[in-house]
Amino acid sequence: MASAWECAVHGPVAAPYARVPHPTAEAVRQLSRADGVPLWSPLPLLAGWTLGGLGTADDLRTGVARATAVALAGPSPLGGPADLVLVAEEPGTGLGAHVAGRPDLDPGDCATGAPDAKVVAAGHLTALWRCDSAGDRVAFVGEALGVWLWAVLWPPAAELVLLEHVELHDLRHDAHASLEMTVGAPSPRLP
């Protein structure tokens, strides 16, 4: 077995990516049982928001998730639709950078100065800094539970969602095993 898999855009990657475009409660439960990085979601979901997709990059040798993605959709604070993809990943995995539209694997030197946003992740106030992204979206990155936490929003004005009290929970915890999330249309934002 090879020690890396090939991505058409980024070359060798440590773990192949798999997408669950039509998430169900059972798919959330299956992904939440995996070891590895957190599976972040706001709980309760933001008012009017729905779950639109899940993704994971698992090391096939160990079965451990190196990255997870949760896609959500709902109303933008300024009106119109908005999308949010939350990515948790080990450094060097590249899923968050890919979702943000960056050509590299990690966020680079964006965590300087005061943070641009804050969320609560696993009960802890977590700073997020804006990093370079493709022009049709805005990306924020920080660190939570020892791995990168990316929040990527479409359109860029949807960044105001992060001004609301956003409390992220790790769906891997038993307290969320019976969770029923409102599922919406499949997200076009997951790779």
Q: Residue 38 CA to chain centroid, in angstroms?
A: 9
Smallest CA-to-CA distance from 95 within 159, 150, 177 is with 150
Beta bridge partners of 125: 120
The yes-or-no verdict on residue 124 having pLDDT over 50 is yes
Contact between 1 and 79 (Cβ < 8 Å): no
The residue type found at 79 is G
Separation of alpha carbons 148 and 128, rounded Å: 10
Separation of alpha carbons 77 and 5, rounded Å: 40
The 10s digit of each residue's pLDDT in 24-66 is: 777 777 776 667 899 999 988 899 999 999 998 888 777 788 9
The CA–CA distances, whole Å, from 129 to 43, 95, 111, 147, 161 equal: 22, 17, 6, 15, 15
Looking at residue 1, its pLDDT comes to 42
Looking at residue 179, its pLDDT comes to 65
**Which pTM value belongs to this model?**
0.90
Region 118-130: mean pLDDT is 96
Contact between 94 and 105 (Cβ < 8 Å): yes
Looking at residue 89, its pLDDT comes to 94
How is residue 95 annotated by DSSP?
A: H
Higher pLDDT, 149 or 30: 149
> From the CB of residue 97, how many other CB atoms can be counted at a distance below 10 Å?
26
Region 137-158: mean pLDDT is 96
Contact between 184 and 50 (Cβ < 8 Å): yes
Range from 102-106, 129-133, 174-178 carrying the lowest mean pLDDT: 174-178
How is residue 158 annotated by DSSP?
A: G
The residue type found at 189 is R
Q: Where are the beta strands (DSSP E) in 21-137?
A: 40-42, 50-58, 65-75, 81-89, 117-121, 124-131
Looking at residue 60, its pLDDT comes to 73
Range from 43-47, 52-56, 117-121, 171-175 carrying the lowest mean pLDDT: 171-175
Looking at residue 11, its pLDDT comes to 62
